[in-house]
Amino acid sequence: MPPTLNQARPYDNSVAFLTDKDVLDNATNIIPPSLPAAICYGRVKDPESCVPKAWWKDVFGDNLYLQTDGDVVEDPEITFEEIRLLETHEPIRSIFQSVSPSGSTERTRILDLCCGQGRHVLQLAELYPHLELHGHDQSQYLIELAQSRAAVADVSGRASFTIGDCRAIPHDDNSFSLVMVMGNSFGYFATDNANANLLKEIRRILKPGGFVVMDIPDGAYLRKNFSARGWEWIDDTMIVCRERELSKDKRRLISREVVMLTGKGVIRDQFYEECLYDLAEVHQLVRESGLVPEQRVEDVEENTIGRDMSKRGEDLGMMENRHLVLVSKPLL
């Protein structure tokens, strides 16, 4: 039986959160200590024009992301609290706690889409060992890290990972009870049509009556309150300087990160963007994709866990204010 909520705990087995040195023999794209200084583009007049079309392939292509954003995405206590926040929603809690009838070999299937290094999958595997968990992400590096952590934690039999575009999920129609899109992973594509296509792909693999939960930036807040410039020390030797501005159509936030190491200078100068949807716009995309919002706009819950629990507590950017949007697929 799954643990009751008061028995739940963070996945405190340290091997579940292995560092690069632990998986060096198997993982790709680890930044070596001898990395030469990268070219810095200097003052840029039009950052929007510098954003690569598929910027996520570079930003999440190696372990630098886990360092610059590690105060949120590599903190097991934050991951645990995010799962606990999901559990406060009765439909999600019921799916987590559902068990197969006696004699049945079929398990409840959950997909973490854009799962990164698999932190939510690993936490769920600890709390709910009866679930069949899947993670899918476009980053070979992050998926290899997730697979290594799952193997060491001995959960590979119930937690599997695949690599590929989130708009082409390698699973059958009507095969998941729950799809999770966590950590601000919705809105990467520059157009509403492309983001709606992602929702349609989620609808395809979701069972009728199944649910989707999306952890997304609070677009209405960020349009008015984003920090145009910020910087933070990642550790004693790494500092990140960030610049942000709205796109020309005011619908996306353009971000630039210049990462520097003491004694080496600039090691990365990268640009990325994310759509700033308000909740009414999200609900409109959801309906156009054949899904149904489960909450009224005024009832959607905020997710401030990253902001409240970050041990660095410095420049959180788009992780500062987020919403949990709950969506369902209609019954046939």
- Counting the structural domains of the chain, the total is 1
How confident is the model at residue 36, as a pLDDT?
Answer: 55
Is 115 a member of any domain? yes
pLDDT for 288-302, tens place per residue?
A: 999 999 988 877 877
CATH number of the domain that 72 lies in? 3.40.50.150
5-14, 65-74, 103-112, 145-154 — most confident range: 145-154
Is 238 a member of any domain? no
**Chain Cα centroid distance, residue 9:** 21
Is 249 a member of any domain? no
Domain interval for residue 284: 55-97+106-218+277-328
How confident is the model at residue 21, as a pLDDT?
Answer: 43
Q: Structure pTM?
A: 0.87
Is 143 a member of any domain? yes
Q: Which of 28-32, 78-82, 171-175 has the lowest mean pLDDT?
A: 28-32
How confident is the model at residue 169, as a pLDDT?
Answer: 96
pLDDT for 179-235, tens place per residue?
A: 999 999 999 999 999 999 999 999 999 999 999 999 999 999 999 999 999 999 999
Whether the pLDDT of residue 147 is over 90: the answer is yes
Is 323 a member of any domain? yes
Whether the pLDDT of residue 9 is over 90: the answer is no
Is 27 a member of any domain? no
Is 307 a member of any domain? yes
Is 9 a member of any domain? no
How confident is the model at residue 103, as a pLDDT?
Answer: 58
